Homo-oligomer: A and B are copies of this chain.
Protein backbone atom coordinates (compact mmCIF):
# COMPACT_ATOMS: atom_id res chain seq x y z
CA UNK A 1 0.00 0.00 0.00
CA UNK A 2 1.35 3.40 -0.98
CA UNK A 3 0.47 6.25 1.35
CA UNK A 4 -1.18 9.03 -0.63
CA UNK A 5 0.35 12.50 -0.52
CA UNK A 6 -1.20 15.16 1.62
CA UNK A 7 -3.94 16.85 -0.37
CA UNK A 8 -4.26 20.57 -0.74
CA UNK A 9 -7.30 21.96 0.98
CA UNK A 10 -10.14 23.83 -0.62
CA UNK A 11 -10.20 22.73 -4.26
CA UNK A 12 -13.65 23.25 -5.76
CA UNK A 13 -16.01 20.42 -6.58
CA UNK A 14 -18.60 22.40 -8.56
CA UNK A 15 -18.38 21.68 -12.27
CA UNK A 16 -19.44 23.77 -15.25
CA UNK A 17 -22.78 22.74 -16.76
CA UNK A 18 -22.29 19.87 -19.20
CA UNK A 19 -18.78 18.91 -18.06
CA UNK A 20 -18.12 15.44 -19.55
CA UNK A 21 -16.32 14.34 -16.37
CA UNK A 22 -19.19 14.91 -13.96
CA UNK A 23 -20.60 12.63 -11.26
CA UNK A 24 -22.15 10.26 -13.82
CA UNK A 25 -18.71 9.46 -15.20
CA UNK A 26 -16.10 9.06 -12.45
CA UNK A 27 -13.25 7.48 -14.39
CA UNK A 28 -10.35 5.94 -12.48
CA UNK A 29 -6.67 6.69 -12.95
CA UNK A 30 -3.35 6.58 -11.13
CA UNK A 31 -1.09 9.58 -10.64
CA UNK A 32 1.95 10.88 -8.85
CA UNK A 33 2.64 14.39 -7.68
CA UNK A 34 5.71 16.59 -7.81
CA UNK A 35 6.07 16.28 -4.03
CA UNK A 36 5.82 12.50 -4.10
CA UNK A 37 6.93 11.27 -7.52
CA UNK A 38 7.48 7.75 -6.13
CA UNK A 39 4.00 7.37 -4.66
CA UNK A 40 1.50 6.42 -7.36
CA UNK A 41 -2.03 6.45 -6.03
CA UNK A 42 -5.55 6.01 -7.33
CA UNK A 43 -7.51 9.08 -8.33
CA UNK A 44 -10.97 9.70 -9.74
CA UNK A 45 -11.50 12.45 -12.25
CA UNK A 46 -14.05 15.15 -11.48
CA UNK A 47 -14.03 17.86 -14.13
CA UNK A 48 -10.48 19.15 -14.35
CA UNK A 49 -9.73 18.01 -10.83
CA UNK A 50 -8.71 14.67 -9.38
CA UNK A 51 -9.94 13.17 -6.14
CA UNK A 52 -7.39 11.21 -4.14
CA UNK A 53 -9.62 8.16 -3.82
CA UNK A 54 -7.62 6.36 -1.14
CA UNK A 55 -7.36 9.46 1.02
CA UNK A 56 -11.04 10.22 0.69
CA UNK A 57 -11.99 6.62 1.39
CA UNK A 58 -10.00 6.67 4.61
CA UNK A 59 -11.51 9.99 5.67
CA UNK A 60 -15.03 8.73 5.00
CA UNK A 61 -14.35 5.39 6.70
CA UNK A 62 -15.11 3.42 3.55
CA UNK A 63 -15.01 -0.36 3.81
CA UNK A 64 -13.19 -0.33 0.45
CA UNK A 65 -10.37 1.97 1.50
CA UNK A 66 -7.82 -0.81 1.12
CA UNK A 67 -8.71 -1.27 -2.55
CA UNK A 68 -8.36 2.45 -3.21
CA UNK A 69 -5.13 2.93 -1.27
CA UNK A 70 -3.10 1.08 -3.89
CA UNK A 71 -0.52 2.10 -6.47
CA UNK A 72 -2.49 0.45 -9.31
CA UNK A 73 -6.12 -0.35 -10.10
CA UNK A 74 -5.53 -4.12 -10.13
CA UNK A 75 -6.97 -5.04 -6.71
CA UNK A 76 -10.09 -2.94 -7.29
CA UNK A 77 -10.49 -4.40 -10.79
CA UNK A 78 -10.16 -7.94 -9.42
CA UNK A 79 -12.73 -7.34 -6.68
CA UNK A 80 -15.70 -7.91 -8.99
CA UNK A 81 -18.81 -6.10 -10.05
CA UNK A 82 -20.64 -5.81 -6.70
CA UNK A 83 -17.61 -4.04 -5.27
CA UNK A 84 -17.26 -1.82 -8.36
CA UNK A 85 -20.87 -0.76 -7.92
CA UNK A 86 -20.51 -0.13 -4.21
CA UNK A 87 -17.34 1.95 -4.65
CA UNK A 88 -18.91 3.93 -7.48
CA UNK A 89 -21.93 4.74 -5.33
CA UNK A 90 -19.65 5.91 -2.53
CA UNK A 91 -17.58 8.12 -4.81
CA UNK A 92 -20.68 9.71 -6.22
CA UNK A 93 -21.99 10.34 -2.73
CA UNK A 94 -18.75 11.95 -1.56
CA UNK A 95 -18.66 14.26 -4.58
CA UNK A 96 -22.31 15.28 -4.63
CA UNK A 97 -23.90 15.07 -1.17
CA UNK A 98 -23.85 18.54 0.40
CA UNK A 99 -22.73 17.17 3.75
CA UNK A 100 -19.68 15.42 2.20
CA UNK A 101 -18.43 17.94 -0.30
CA UNK A 102 -16.28 19.90 2.08
CA UNK A 103 -14.47 16.76 3.17
CA UNK A 104 -14.12 15.56 -0.41
CA UNK A 105 -12.67 18.92 -1.45
CA UNK A 106 -9.77 18.35 0.93
CA UNK A 107 -8.71 15.43 -1.27
CA UNK A 108 -8.96 17.21 -4.60
CA UNK A 109 -6.38 19.02 -6.65
CA UNK A 110 -6.17 20.28 -10.20
CA UNK A 111 -5.50 17.66 -12.85
CA UNK A 112 -2.81 19.94 -14.22
CA UNK A 113 -0.76 19.47 -11.04
CA UNK A 114 -0.45 15.69 -11.20
CA UNK A 115 1.34 13.25 -13.48
CA UNK A 116 -0.85 10.47 -14.78
CA UNK A 117 0.56 6.93 -15.07
CA UNK A 118 -0.48 3.68 -16.69
CA UNK A 119 -3.24 2.78 -14.22
CA UNK A 120 -3.04 -1.02 -14.33
CA UNK A 121 -0.61 -3.72 -15.35
CA UNK A 122 -1.62 -4.98 -18.77
CA UNK A 123 -1.88 -8.78 -18.73
CA UNK A 124 -2.71 -9.91 -22.29
CA UNK A 125 -3.49 -7.38 -25.00
CA UNK A 126 -5.79 -8.41 -27.85
CA UNK A 127 -6.72 -6.29 -30.83
CA UNK A 128 -9.87 -6.95 -32.87
CA UNK A 129 -10.89 -5.85 -36.35
CA UNK A 130 -14.55 -5.14 -35.70
CA UNK A 131 -15.43 -2.25 -38.03
CA UNK A 132 -16.86 -3.42 -41.31
CA UNK A 133 -16.03 -0.08 -42.91
CA UNK A 134 -12.41 -0.29 -41.77
CA UNK A 135 -11.99 -3.92 -42.75
CA UNK A 136 -13.51 -3.27 -46.17
CA UNK A 137 -11.30 -0.26 -46.82
CA UNK A 138 -8.15 -2.05 -45.67
CA UNK A 139 -9.03 -5.08 -47.77
CA UNK A 140 -9.37 -2.90 -50.86
CA UNK A 141 -6.07 -1.13 -50.18
CA UNK A 142 -3.92 -4.10 -49.04
CA UNK A 143 -5.48 -6.95 -51.06
CA UNK A 144 -6.96 -5.33 -54.17
CA UNK A 145 -7.14 -8.63 -56.04
CA UNK A 146 -9.26 -10.40 -53.41
CA UNK A 147 -12.67 -9.89 -51.88
CA UNK A 148 -12.48 -6.85 -49.59
CA UNK A 149 -13.79 -8.74 -46.54
CA UNK A 150 -12.21 -12.09 -45.66
CA UNK A 151 -14.64 -15.05 -45.85
CA UNK A 152 -14.69 -15.43 -42.06
CA UNK A 153 -15.28 -11.75 -41.26
CA UNK A 154 -19.04 -11.82 -40.67
CA UNK A 155 -18.93 -15.16 -38.83
CA UNK A 156 -16.48 -14.29 -36.09
CA UNK A 157 -14.80 -11.20 -34.66
CA UNK A 158 -11.27 -11.49 -36.05
CA UNK A 159 -8.60 -10.69 -33.51
CA UNK A 160 -4.96 -11.28 -32.64
CA UNK A 161 -2.67 -10.81 -29.68
CA UNK A 162 -0.54 -7.69 -29.45
CA UNK A 163 2.39 -6.79 -27.22
CA UNK A 164 1.30 -6.04 -23.66
CA UNK A 165 4.74 -4.79 -22.59
CA UNK A 166 4.68 -1.78 -24.91
CA UNK A 167 1.28 -0.42 -23.93
CA UNK A 168 2.07 3.10 -22.72
CA UNK A 169 0.01 5.81 -21.10
CA UNK A 170 -1.18 8.93 -22.89
CA UNK A 171 1.56 11.54 -23.05
CA UNK A 172 4.40 9.06 -23.54
CA UNK A 173 6.32 10.01 -26.69
CA UNK A 174 6.29 7.41 -29.48
CA UNK A 175 9.61 6.80 -31.19
CA UNK A 176 9.28 6.19 -34.92
CA UNK A 177 10.09 2.48 -35.39
CA UNK A 178 12.75 1.10 -37.67
CA UNK A 179 12.36 -2.10 -39.57
CA UNK A 180 12.22 -3.97 -42.83
CA UNK A 181 9.95 -2.72 -45.57
CA UNK A 182 9.70 -3.79 -49.19
CA UNK A 183 7.64 -1.76 -51.63
CA UNK A 184 6.04 -3.98 -54.30
CA UNK A 185 8.29 -2.66 -57.06
CA UNK A 186 11.55 -3.59 -55.29
CA UNK A 187 13.17 -7.02 -55.23
CA UNK A 188 14.49 -7.11 -51.68
CA UNK A 189 13.59 -5.38 -48.43
CA UNK A 190 15.48 -2.38 -47.13
CA UNK A 191 15.92 -1.25 -43.55
CA UNK A 192 15.20 2.06 -41.93
CA UNK A 193 12.69 4.25 -40.11
CA UNK A 194 9.10 3.62 -41.09
CA UNK A 195 7.93 5.95 -43.85
CA UNK A 196 4.27 5.13 -43.33
CA UNK A 197 3.63 5.69 -39.63
CA UNK A 198 -0.07 5.66 -38.87
CA UNK A 199 -2.58 5.73 -36.05
CA UNK A 200 -5.64 3.61 -35.35
CA UNK A 201 -8.43 5.17 -33.30
CA UNK A 202 -9.83 2.42 -31.07
CA UNK A 203 -11.94 1.81 -28.00
CA UNK A 204 -10.54 -0.71 -25.52
CA UNK A 205 -12.08 -2.76 -22.75
CA UNK A 206 -10.33 -3.59 -19.48
CA UNK A 207 -10.97 -6.95 -17.82
CA UNK A 208 -11.39 -6.92 -14.06
CA UNK A 209 -12.78 -10.26 -12.95
CA UNK A 210 -10.67 -13.22 -14.09
CA UNK A 211 -12.12 -16.45 -15.49
CA UNK A 212 -11.09 -20.07 -15.03
CA UNK A 213 -8.88 -21.82 -17.58
CA UNK A 214 -10.96 -24.21 -19.67
CA UNK A 215 -14.21 -22.26 -19.19
CA UNK A 216 -15.91 -19.81 -21.57
CA UNK A 217 -17.49 -16.46 -20.73
CA UNK A 218 -20.95 -16.24 -22.32
CA UNK A 219 -22.38 -13.01 -23.74
CA UNK A 220 -24.28 -12.57 -20.49
CA UNK A 221 -21.00 -12.49 -18.54
CA UNK A 222 -19.70 -9.33 -20.17
CA UNK A 223 -20.58 -6.96 -17.36
CA UNK A 224 -19.34 -9.31 -14.68
CA UNK A 225 -15.87 -9.41 -16.23
CA UNK A 226 -15.31 -6.01 -17.86
CA UNK A 227 -14.34 -3.23 -15.48
CA UNK A 228 -14.23 -0.30 -17.85
CA UNK A 229 -13.49 1.40 -21.12
CA UNK A 230 -10.57 3.47 -22.39
CA UNK A 231 -9.41 5.06 -25.62
CA UNK A 232 -6.53 3.43 -27.42
CA UNK A 233 -4.25 4.44 -30.28
CA UNK A 234 -2.87 1.37 -32.02
CA UNK A 235 0.16 2.96 -33.70
CA UNK A 236 0.91 1.15 -36.94
CA UNK A 237 3.88 1.21 -39.28
CA UNK A 238 2.15 0.33 -42.53
CA UNK A 239 5.29 -0.38 -44.52
CA UNK A 240 6.67 -2.76 -41.87
CA UNK A 241 3.24 -4.35 -41.42
CA UNK A 242 2.68 -4.81 -45.15
CA UNK A 243 5.91 -6.77 -45.60
CA UNK A 244 5.71 -8.92 -42.47
CA UNK A 245 2.07 -9.82 -41.90
CA UNK A 246 1.59 -12.78 -44.24
CA UNK A 247 0.88 -15.43 -42.97
CA UNK A 248 0.94 -14.96 -39.18
CA UNK A 249 -0.41 -11.43 -38.79
CA UNK A 250 0.90 -8.06 -37.56
CA UNK A 251 3.97 -8.11 -35.35
CA UNK A 252 6.66 -5.40 -35.48
CA UNK A 253 4.39 -3.08 -37.44
CA UNK A 254 2.39 -2.70 -34.23
CA UNK A 255 4.51 -3.85 -31.28
CA UNK A 256 6.65 -0.70 -30.88
CA UNK A 257 3.93 1.16 -28.96
CA UNK A 258 0.22 1.19 -28.16
CA UNK A 259 -1.07 4.27 -26.33
CA UNK A 260 -3.98 4.19 -23.90
CA UNK A 261 -5.73 6.93 -22.04
CA UNK A 262 -4.79 7.46 -18.40
CA UNK A 263 -8.48 7.12 -17.53
CA UNK A 264 -10.67 4.02 -17.32
CA UNK A 265 -14.36 4.89 -17.44
CA UNK A 266 -16.54 2.34 -15.60
CA UNK A 267 -18.85 0.42 -17.88
CA UNK A 268 -21.82 1.54 -15.78
CA UNK A 269 -21.16 5.14 -16.84
CA UNK A 270 -22.08 4.19 -20.41
CA UNK A 271 -25.50 2.72 -19.63
CA UNK A 272 -27.35 5.54 -21.35
CA UNK A 273 -25.23 5.11 -24.48
CA UNK A 274 -26.00 1.45 -25.14
CA UNK A 275 -27.58 0.94 -28.57
CA UNK A 276 -28.26 -1.92 -30.94
CA UNK A 277 -25.39 -2.91 -33.23
CA UNK A 278 -25.85 -2.78 -37.03
CA UNK A 279 -28.14 -5.32 -38.68
CA UNK A 280 -26.49 -8.71 -39.29
CA UNK A 281 -26.00 -10.00 -42.82
CA UNK A 282 -25.37 -13.62 -41.89
CA UNK A 283 -26.76 -15.72 -39.02
CA UNK A 284 -24.46 -15.93 -36.01
CA UNK A 285 -23.61 -19.09 -34.13
CA UNK A 286 -25.42 -19.31 -30.75
CA UNK A 287 -22.47 -18.23 -28.63
CA UNK A 288 -22.38 -14.94 -30.59
CA UNK A 289 -26.09 -14.37 -31.15
CA UNK A 290 -27.15 -10.81 -30.37
CA UNK A 291 -30.35 -11.98 -28.69
CA UNK A 292 -28.22 -13.61 -25.98
CA UNK A 293 -26.90 -10.21 -24.91
CA UNK A 294 -28.93 -8.97 -21.94
CA UNK A 295 -28.68 -5.38 -23.18
CA UNK A 296 -27.97 -3.65 -26.49
CA UNK A 297 -24.40 -4.52 -27.45
CA UNK A 298 -23.36 -1.30 -29.16
CA UNK A 299 -22.13 1.90 -27.53
CA UNK A 300 -22.85 5.32 -28.96
CA UNK A 301 -19.38 6.80 -28.49
CA UNK A 302 -18.34 9.67 -30.73
CA UNK A 303 -14.61 9.84 -31.30
CA UNK A 304 -12.55 12.78 -32.52
CA UNK A 305 -9.10 12.28 -34.05
CA UNK A 306 -6.87 15.31 -34.23
CA UNK A 307 -3.37 15.93 -35.52
CA UNK A 308 -1.58 18.94 -34.09
CA UNK A 309 -4.90 20.27 -32.88
CA UNK A 310 -6.73 19.92 -36.20
CA UNK A 311 -9.67 17.51 -36.35
CA UNK A 312 -9.07 14.98 -39.12
CA UNK A 313 -11.82 12.48 -38.41
CA UNK A 314 -14.88 11.77 -36.26
CA UNK A 315 -15.34 7.99 -36.15
CA UNK A 316 -18.63 6.71 -34.72
CA UNK A 317 -18.22 3.69 -32.42
CA UNK A 318 -21.94 3.01 -32.93
CA UNK A 319 -21.10 1.70 -36.43
CA UNK A 320 -19.01 -1.23 -35.15
CA UNK A 321 -20.29 -4.56 -36.43
CA UNK A 322 -19.05 -6.70 -33.53
CA UNK A 323 -19.89 -5.79 -29.95
CA UNK A 324 -17.51 -5.84 -27.01
CA UNK A 325 -19.49 -8.68 -25.42
CA UNK A 326 -19.19 -10.72 -28.62
CA UNK A 327 -15.45 -10.13 -28.66
CA UNK A 328 -15.16 -11.33 -25.06
CA UNK A 329 -17.31 -14.40 -25.70
CA UNK A 330 -15.29 -15.25 -28.80
CA UNK A 331 -11.94 -14.71 -27.08
CA UNK A 332 -12.83 -17.23 -24.37
CA UNK A 333 -14.98 -19.73 -26.28
CA UNK A 334 -11.98 -22.03 -26.68
CA UNK A 335 -11.42 -22.10 -22.92
CA UNK A 336 -8.77 -19.36 -22.83
CA UNK A 337 -8.83 -17.77 -19.39
CA UNK A 338 -9.06 -14.08 -18.57
CA UNK A 339 -6.76 -12.33 -16.14
CA UNK A 340 -7.27 -9.07 -14.32
CA UNK A 341 -5.64 -6.47 -16.55
CA UNK A 342 -6.42 -8.13 -19.87
CA UNK A 343 -6.99 -5.38 -22.39
CA UNK A 344 -8.87 -5.86 -25.62
CA UNK A 345 -9.39 -3.25 -28.28
CA UNK A 346 -12.03 -2.87 -30.94
CA UNK A 347 -9.77 -2.40 -33.91
CA UNK A 348 -9.87 0.82 -35.89
CA UNK A 349 -13.20 2.59 -35.57
CA UNK A 350 -14.37 3.78 -38.99
CA UNK A 351 -17.78 4.90 -40.14
CA UNK A 352 -19.23 4.85 -43.64
CA UNK A 353 -18.16 8.41 -44.50
CA UNK A 354 -14.68 9.49 -45.47
CA UNK A 355 -14.69 11.96 -42.57
CA UNK A 356 -15.31 9.05 -40.22
CA UNK A 357 -12.27 6.90 -41.01
CA UNK A 358 -10.11 6.07 -38.02
CA UNK A 359 -6.65 5.80 -39.57
CA UNK A 360 -4.53 7.61 -42.12
CA UNK A 361 -4.28 4.50 -44.30
CA UNK A 362 -7.99 4.93 -44.99
CA UNK A 363 -8.16 8.72 -44.78
CA UNK A 364 -5.44 9.10 -47.43
CA UNK A 365 -6.29 5.84 -49.24
CA UNK A 366 -2.89 4.27 -48.77
CA UNK A 367 -1.14 7.63 -48.99
CA UNK A 368 -2.49 8.47 -52.44
CA UNK A 369 -4.80 11.25 -51.28
CA UNK A 370 -2.92 13.23 -48.61
CA UNK A 371 -4.78 15.24 -46.01
CA UNK A 372 -4.36 18.97 -46.27
CA UNK A 373 -3.76 20.37 -42.80
CA UNK A 374 -3.01 23.99 -41.87
CA UNK A 375 0.58 22.96 -41.18
CA UNK A 376 1.05 21.06 -44.43
CA UNK A 377 -0.14 17.94 -46.19
CA UNK A 378 0.06 14.50 -44.58
CA UNK A 379 0.02 11.10 -46.24
CA UNK A 380 1.34 9.57 -43.01
CA UNK A 381 2.71 11.03 -39.76
CA UNK A 382 5.78 13.25 -39.60
CA UNK A 383 8.21 13.52 -36.71
CA UNK A 384 6.89 16.00 -34.19
CA UNK A 385 3.24 15.38 -35.02
CA UNK A 386 0.98 15.13 -31.99
CA UNK A 387 -2.04 12.87 -32.32
CA UNK A 388 -4.97 13.10 -29.90
CA UNK A 389 -8.05 10.91 -29.61
CA UNK A 390 -10.99 12.02 -27.53
CA UNK A 391 -14.58 10.78 -27.23
CA UNK A 392 -17.88 11.28 -25.53
CA UNK A 393 -21.11 9.39 -25.17
CA UNK A 394 -24.63 10.41 -24.19
CA UNK A 395 -25.10 10.22 -20.44
CA UNK A 396 -28.21 10.29 -18.24
CA UNK A 397 -30.55 13.23 -18.66
CA UNK A 398 -28.83 14.81 -21.61
CA UNK A 399 -25.41 14.85 -19.95
CA UNK A 400 -22.18 13.82 -21.65
CA UNK A 401 -19.78 11.11 -20.53
CA UNK A 402 -16.23 11.83 -21.69
CA UNK A 403 -13.52 9.26 -22.22
CA UNK A 404 -10.14 10.57 -21.14
CA UNK A 405 -8.09 11.58 -24.15
CA UNK A 406 -5.09 9.67 -25.43
CA UNK A 407 -2.36 11.83 -26.91
CA UNK A 408 1.25 11.36 -27.96
CA UNK A 409 3.91 13.07 -30.01
CA UNK A 410 6.01 11.26 -32.62
CA UNK A 411 9.75 11.38 -31.94
CA UNK A 412 12.36 10.76 -34.61
CA UNK A 413 13.77 7.29 -35.02
CA UNK A 414 16.87 6.57 -32.91
The verdict on A189 contacting chain B, using a C-beta distance below 8 Å, is yes
Q: Which residues of B contact A243 (CB under 8 A)?
A: 152, 156
Question: Bound complex: CA of A339 vs CA of B336, how far in Å?
Answer: 23
- Render A113-138 as a binary contact track against B, CB cut-off 8 A, 1 for contact: 00000000001101001000000000
A9-17, A98-106, A246-254, A394-402: which lies at the B interface? A246-254
How many residues of A are in contact with the other chain, CB < 8 A? 67
Which residues from 250 to 264 on chain A have a C-beta closer than 8 Å to any C-beta of chain B?
250-253, 255-257
Q: Which residues of B contact A159 (CB under 8 A)?
A: 248, 251
Whether A158 pairs with B215 at a CB distance below 8 angstroms is: no
A343 CB to closest chain B CB (Å) equals: 12
Main secondary structure of the interface of A (DSSP, over half): loop
Which residues from 325 to 354 on chain A have a C-beta closer than 8 Å to any C-beta of chain B?
330-331, 333-339, 342
Whether A249 pairs with B247 at a CB distance below 8 angstroms is: yes
Whether B247 pairs with A177 at a CB distance below 8 angstroms is: no
Which residues from 182 to 210 on chain A have a C-beta closer than 8 Å to any C-beta of chain B?
182, 188-191
Whether B252 pairs with A331 at a CB distance below 8 angstroms is: yes
Question: Bound complex: CA of A25 vs CA of B72, how far in Å?
Answer: 39
Known interface pairs A156-B180, A160-B161, A339-B165; A255-B334 also in contact (CB < 8 Å): yes
A-B contact pairs, 15 of them (CB 8 A): A123-B165, A124-B163, A124-B165, A152-B182, A155-B182, A160-B248, A161-B163, A161-B255, A177-B335, A178-B216, A188-B283, A249-B249, A252-B336, A255-B331, A256-B334
- The chain A residues found within 8 Å of chain B, CB to CB, are 123-124, 126, 129, 142-143, 150-152, 155-156, 158-166, 168, 175, 177-180, 182, 188-191, 213-216, 237, 240, 243-253, 255-257, 282-283, 285-287, 330-331, 333-339, 342, 414
